[in-house]
C-alpha cells in the first residue's frame, strides 16, 4: 500500500471501511484501560484527586498541537505534491483539532480552579493554547466561507503553513509578554519527574487519544469524500436538461 | 405577516449556511476580546474592572462589521428592487431584515459573553449584568447601524465609511450600556436608571432606524 | 434622460421598447416599476385593483436574477411567492413549467446563467400580476428557453395581461413598438 494507491478515493473508501472497526475497537480498549488505571492511580500528595484531570488534559493538549502538524503535512500535500486526498485530510482534521484544543482548554480551566482559585489565568501556556484554538476556528471559518472546496483548499493550505511557522513565534512572544508583566506568580506543577504510577496511565491515555484522533479523522475523511460526491452528482443533475 | 416572516426566515437561513457571515461575527468578538489583555497586561483585577467596557466595544465592532452586507448583498443581486416594489411597506421590510440580522449575528454575541467574562475574570453578577445590557442594547446597535448599511447602498461604498458614519450614532448606547454594567458591579449609581435609558434608546431606534433606512433606500436606487 | 415620450399598452398587448444602447430603455422600465423617481409626467394603470399602486401590480424582470446561491431552487422561489403575496401558484408546478423540475432541491449556486433566468421566469408564474416589465428577458436563454418563454408570454396575454419589454432581439411575438433615442 502506497500513497499512490490511497490517491484513489474509491480505494481509500474500501480500505478505510475495513480498517475503521479495528481502529475504533483498539481505541475503546485503550481508553477503557487508561481510564481504569487513571482511576486507581494514587492521589497526589499536594493536589489530591484533582491531579487526575491530567490524564485527560495532557493527551488533549498534545493532540491539539499534533493535529496542526497533521494539517501542515496535508497542506504541503495540497500545495507541493498535489495529492488529491490532501485537502480532504486537511479539512476533516480542522474541527477535530479544534475539539481537542477546546477540551484541553476546558480541562485546564477546571484544573486551574482548585490550583489558582480562578477558572482562567493569563498564563503563558494557557494563552498560547487559546490562540491556537482561535486559529482553528479561523481555519474552519475559511473552509466554510467558500462554497467550492477545491478553491478553499489552497487558501486554507497557505493559512495552515503560515500558522505552523507562526505558532512557535506566538508561543515565544506570549512567554515574553507574560514574564514581562507578571513574574512567575503561578506555581506550575511538574517539578520532579512523574512517578511511574502516573506515567504509565498517562502514556496509555495518550496512545488511546491518538488512536481516537485517527479513527475520527478517517471517518471524517470518508464523510468529506462522500459529501463531495453528492456535490458533483448534484451539479451533474443541475446541468442535465429536463426531458 | 407571511411576507415579513418569509423575509426573516430567508435572511437567517442565508446567514447560517456556507458563505454566511453570522458566526464570523462571534469569532471576531472572541478574537478582539482575547487581544485586549495583550495590550493591557494579564492583570486580573484590572481586567475585571475594564471587562464590561472591553466586552461592549467588542460587541459594538462585531455587530458593525457584519452589518456591512445587510442591504448591499440584496442590492447586488437585484432582490432589493423587488423588495422595494412589493406590497409590504419598505419600513417593515427593513425592520424585518434588521431583526433577522440581530437574531443571526447579535444573539450569538450575547451567548458568547459568559465565556468571555470568564477570560476577563468577571464574576457571575458582572457577567450577567453585561449579558443583560448587551441583550437590551445590541438591537439598538443593529437598528441604528442599519441606517449606515442603507447609506452604503446609496453611496456604493461600505466598510470603513460605514464605520465612520455609524460609530458616532452608537455612542449613547455605548455610554449607557457600559454605565449600567458598571453600576451593577461597583455602584455608586443604581442599575435601574442607565438600564432604563438603554431600553429607551433601543425602542427609539426601532422607530427611527427602519424609517431612515427605508427613506435612504428609496432615493438611493438607480 | 428622455422627454416627450407618450405611450400606452392595452390589456393583452406587448409593448416592445427598442432603441440603441443608452437610449433609456432600462430607465423607462425602472420608472414604471417605481424604482426611479420621475422628473415629471405620469404613468398609471386603468382598471387594476384600486388600492394597489402600479409597481405593486407589476413584475419586474431585470438584468439581475434576484437569486440567493446559498438557498435551493425551491427555497428561492417559495421565498418570492411568500414575500410578493397575492394570488399564488404551486412552486413545483411552476418549476416544471420552466424546465427546472429536476433541480427543485439543488442549491441555486449550481445553476447556469440560462437556468437562473428560467428560475426568474418561474417567479412571474408563481405570483399572478397583470403587468410584466421585462428587461432583455431572453438574453441568457437558449433556443428552447426562448420558445418556452414565448409560450409563457402568450398565456399571460391571453389572460388579459400587459407586457412591456425592453429588447434588442425580436421577442418572437407580435408587439407594438416604442422606439427610443435617435436624437
CA distance C159 to C157: 5
Nearest to C102 among A147, A235, A240 (CB): A240
Q: Mutate which of C70, C103, C104, C121 to test chain A, going by most A C-beta atoms within 10 A? A: C103
For residue C20, the surrounding DSSP H or E stretch is none
Say how far residue C98 (Cα) sits from the centre of its chain.
14
Q: Are C142 and C5 in contact (CB under 8 A)?
A: no
Residue A6 has a pLDDT of 65
CA distances to A123, A173, B33 from A176, rounded to whole Å, are 11, 5, 20
Provide the pLDDT confidence category of residue A193 given band limits of 50, 70 and 90: low
**What integer pLDDT is reported at residue A187 of this predicted model?**
44
Please judge whether A242 and C110 are an interchain contact, meaning their C-beta atoms are less than 8 angstroms apart. Answer: no
What average pLDDT does this structure show over B178-204? 86
- Highest mean pLDDT (candidates A8-17, A184-193, B91-100): B91-100
pLDDT at A192: 47
Helix (H), strand (E) at residue C162: strand C162-166
Q: What is the rounded CA–CA span in Å between residue B85 and residue B217?
A: 12
Task: Give chain B's mean pLDDT.
Answer: 87
**B2, C82: Cβ pair inside 8 Å?**
yes
Buried b (16+ CB within 10 A) or exposed e, B199-217: bebbeebbeebbebbbebb
Chains B–C, number of C-beta pairs less than 8 Å apart:
81
**Short-list B56, B100, B81, B103, CA closest to B220:** B81
Chain A interface, Cβ < 8 Å to B: 109, 118-123, 127, 130-131, 134, 137-138, 141, 144-147, 177-178, 181-182
Give per-residue pLDDT as tens, C89-129: 788 888 888 888 888 888 888 888 888 888 888 888 888 88
Contact assignment for B119 to A120 by CB distance below 8 Å: yes
Are C33 and B88 a contacting pair at CB < 8 A? no
Give yes or no for residue A1 having a pLDDT over 50.
Answer: no
At residue B136, the pLDDT reads: 93
Q: Which residue, chain included where needed, has cell 475539539?
A: A99
Chain C: nearest CA to B71, how far in angstroms?
A: 13
Which residues of chain B approach chain C closer than 8 Å at the C-beta?
2-3, 5-7, 9-10, 13-14, 17-20, 76-79, 81-88, 219, 221-222
Q: Provide the pLDDT confidence category of residue C182 given band limits of 50, 70 and 90.
A: low
What is the rounded distance in angstroms from the CA atom of residue A117 to the CA atom of residue B34? 21
Nearest to B120 by CA among B27, B30, B39, B51: B51
Give the pLDDT mean for B40-45: 81
- Cβ distance C64 to B78 less than 8 Å, yes or no, reads yes
Average pLDDT of every residue of chain A: 82
- Residue A44: CB partners within 8 Å, gap ≥ 6? A50, A51
CA of C90 vs chain B CAs: smallest distance (Å): 16
Q: Quick one: pLDDT band at residue B58, thresholds 50, 70, 90? A: very high
Query: CA A162 from chain center: how many Å?
Result: 17
The verdict on a CB contact (< 8 Å) between B43 and A134 is no
Band of the pLDDT at C47, cuts 50, 70, 90? Answer: confident
Q: Could you tell me how far CA A35 lies from the centroid of its own chain?
A: 20
Quick one: average pLDDT of A12-40? 86
Residues with Cβ < 8 Å from C60, sequence gap 6 or more? Answer: B81, B82, B85, C29, C30, C33, C35, C133, C135
Q: What's the confidence (pLDDT) of residue A123? A: 77
Predicted TM-score (pTM) of the model is 0.86
Per residue in C115-126, pLDDT (tens digit) is 888 888 888 888
> For residue A46, is pLDDT > 70?
no
The length of chain C in residues reads 183
CB-count exposure of residue B77 (10 Å: 0-12, 13-18, 19+) = middle
Distance CA A207, CA A58 (A): 11
Q: What is the pLDDT of residues B16-25, one digit of tens each?
A: 887 777 788 8
* ipTM score above 0.90: no
Distance CA B135, CA B59 (A): 11
Give CA–CA dist A20/A35, Å, rounded: 22
Q: Quick check: A211 pLDDT over 80?
A: yes
pLDDT per position as a tens digit, A107-134: 888 887 777 777 787 877 788 888 899 9
Task: Give the distance from CA B99 to its chain's centroid.
Answer: 10
Cell numbers linked to B42: 494579564
Nearest Cα to C164, choosing from C43, C83, C66, C48?
C43
Q: Are A77 and A2 in contact (CB under 8 A)?
A: no
Mean pLDDT to the nearest integer, C43-52: 74
| pLDDT tops 60 at residue B107 | yes
Amino acid at each position: 500500500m502506497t500513497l499512490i494507491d490511497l490517491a484513489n478515493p474509491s480505494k481509500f473508501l474500501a480500505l478505510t471501511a475495513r480498517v475503521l472497526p479495528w481502529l475504533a475497537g483498539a481505541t475503546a480498549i485503550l481508553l477503557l484501560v487508561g481510564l481504569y488505571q487513571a482511576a486507581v492511580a494514587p492521589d497526589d500528595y499536594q493536589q489530591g484527586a484533582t491531579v487526575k484531570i491530567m490524564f485527560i488534559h495532557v493527551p488533549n493538549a498534545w493532540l491539539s498541537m499534533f493535529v496542526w502538524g497533521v494539517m501542515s503535512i496535508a497542506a504541503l500535500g495540497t500545495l507541493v505534491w498535489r495529492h488529491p486526498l490532501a485537502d480532504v485530510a486537511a479539512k476533516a482534521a480542522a474541527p477535530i483539532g479544534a475539539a481537542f484544543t477546546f477540551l484541553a482548554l476546558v480541562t485546564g480551566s477546571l484544573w486551574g480552579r482548585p490550583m489558582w482559585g480562578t477558572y482562567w489565568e493569563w498564563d503563558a501556556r494557557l494563552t498560547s493554547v487559546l490562540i491556537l484554538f482561535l486559529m482553528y476556528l479561523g481555519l474552519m471559518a475559511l473552509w466554510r466561507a467558500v462554497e467550492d472546496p477545491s478553491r478553499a483548499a489552497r487558501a486554507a493550505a497557505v493559512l495552515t503553513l503560515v500558522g505552523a511557522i507562526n505558532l512557535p513565534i506566538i508561543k515565544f512572544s506570549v512567554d515574553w509578554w507574560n514574564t514581562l508583566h507578571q513574574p512567575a506568580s503561578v506555581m506550575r506543577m511538574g517539578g520532579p519527574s512523574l512517578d511511574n504510577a502516573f506515567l504509565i496511565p498517562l502514556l496509555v491515555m495518550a496512545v488511546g487519544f491518538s488512536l481516537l484522533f485517527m479513527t475520527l479523522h478517517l471517518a471524517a475523511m470518508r464523510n468529506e469524500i462522500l459529501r463531495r460526491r453528492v456535490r458533483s452528482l448534484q451539479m451533474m443533475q443541475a446541468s442535465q436538461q429536463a426531458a | 405577516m407571511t411576507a415579513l416572516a418569509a423575509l426573516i426566515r430567508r435572511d437567517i437561513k442565508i446567514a447560517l449556511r456556507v458563505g454566511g457571515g453570522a458566526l464570523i461575527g462571534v469569532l471576531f468578538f472572541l478574537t478582539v476580546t482575547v487581544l485586549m489583555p495583550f495590550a493591557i497586561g494579564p492583570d486580573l483585577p484590572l481586567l475585571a474592572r475594564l471587562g464590561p467596557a472591553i466586552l461592549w466595544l467588542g460587541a459594538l465592532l462585531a455587530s458593525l462589521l457584519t452589518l456591512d452586507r445587510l442591504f448591499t448583498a440584496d442590492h447586488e443581486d437585484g432582490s432589493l428592487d423587488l423588495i422595494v416594489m412589493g406590497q409590504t411597506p419598505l419600513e417593515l421590510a427593513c425592520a424585518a431584515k434588521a431583526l433577522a440580522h440581530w437574531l443571526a449575528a447579535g444573539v450569538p454575541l450575547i451567548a458568547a459573553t459568559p465565556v468571555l467574562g470568564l477570560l476577563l475574570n468577571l464574576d457571575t453578577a458582572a457577567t450577567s449584568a453585561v449579558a443583560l445590557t448587551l441583550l437590551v442594547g445590541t438591537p439598538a446597535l443593529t437598528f441604528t447601524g442599519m441606517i449606515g448599511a442603507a447609506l452604503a447602498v446609496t453611496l456604493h461604498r461600505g466598510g470603513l465609511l460605514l464605520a465612520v458614519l455609524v460609530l458616532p450614532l452608537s455612542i449613547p448606547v455605548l455610554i449607557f450600556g457600559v454605565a449600567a454594567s458598571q453600576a451593577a458591579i461597583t455602584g455608586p449609581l443604581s442599575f435601574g436608571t442607565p438600564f432604563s435609558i438603554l431600553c429607551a434608546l433601543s425602542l427609539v431606534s426601532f422607530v427611527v432606524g427602519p424609517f431612515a433606512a427605508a427613506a435612504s433606500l428609496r432615493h438611493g436606487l438607480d | 434622460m428622455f422627454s416627450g415620450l407618450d405611450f400606452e399598452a392595452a390589456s393583452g398587448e406587448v409593448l416592445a421598447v427598442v432603441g440603441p444602447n443608452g437610449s433609456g430603455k432600462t430607465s423607462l422600465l425602472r420608472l414604471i416599476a417605481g424604482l426611479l423617481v420621475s422628473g415629471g409626467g405620469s404613468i398609471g394603470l386603468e382598471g387594476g385593483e384600486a388600492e394597489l399602486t402600479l409597481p405593486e401590480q407589476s413584475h419586474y424582470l431585470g438584468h439581475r436574477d434576484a437569486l440567493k446561491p446559498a438557498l435551493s431552487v425551491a427555497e428561492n422561489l417559495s421565498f418570492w411567492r411568500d414575500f410578493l403575496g397575492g394570488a399564488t401558484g404551486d412552486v413545483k408546478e411552476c418549476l416544471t413549467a420552466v424546465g427546472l423540475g429536476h433541480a427543485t432541491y439543488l442549491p441555486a449556486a449550481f445553476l447556469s446563467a440560462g437556468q437562473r433566468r428560467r428560475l426568474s421566469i418561474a417567479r412571474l408564474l408563481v405570483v399572478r400580476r397583470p403587468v410584466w416589465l421585462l428587461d432583455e428577458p431572453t438574453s441568457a436563454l437558449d433556443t428552447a428557453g426562448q420558445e418556452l418563454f414565448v409560450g409563457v408570454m402568450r398565456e399571460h396575454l391571453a389572460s388579459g395581461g400587459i407586457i412591456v419589454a425592453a429588447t434588442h432581439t425580436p421577442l418572437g411575438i407580435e408587439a407594438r413598438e416604442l422606439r427610443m433615442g435617435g436624437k
